[in-house]
């Protein structure tokens, strides 16, 4: 059995992946769909997802109204 080789950094793509792409890939029955291809590349470590693990910035509807009124 061939041994797995970790790709070199130059072979990797660093990208922000929208959550909808991951959900779509997991729900898809089409193994050739683009979301499935992206998910497969993440699993194979050809794409490195970039994310922010800090608390998300949330604007309430009331704050949005105040922002838009100013």
pLDDT in tens, 21-49: 999 999 999 999 999 999 999 999 999 99
Burial of 22 (0-12, 13-18, 19+ CB in 10 A): middle
pLDDT at position 4, please?
A: 58
Predicted pLDDT of residue 66: 86
Q: How far apart are CA 16 and CA 2, in angstroms?
A: 31
* pTM exceeding the 0.85 threshold for the entire prediction: no
Q: Which residue ranges make up each domain of the chain?
A: 9-69
Q: Given this model, what pLDDT does residue 25 score?
A: 95
**What's the rounded mean pLDDT across residues 3-27?**
83
């Amino acid at each position: 059995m061939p041994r797995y080789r970790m790709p070199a950094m130059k072979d990797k793509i660093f990208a922000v992946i929208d959550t909808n792409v991951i959900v779509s890939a997991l729900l898809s029955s089409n193994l050739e769909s683009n979301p499935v291809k992206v998910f497969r590349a993440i699993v194979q470590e050809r794409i490195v997802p970039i994310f922010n693990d800090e608390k998300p910035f949330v604007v309430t509807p009331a704050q949005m109204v105040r922002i838009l009124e100013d």
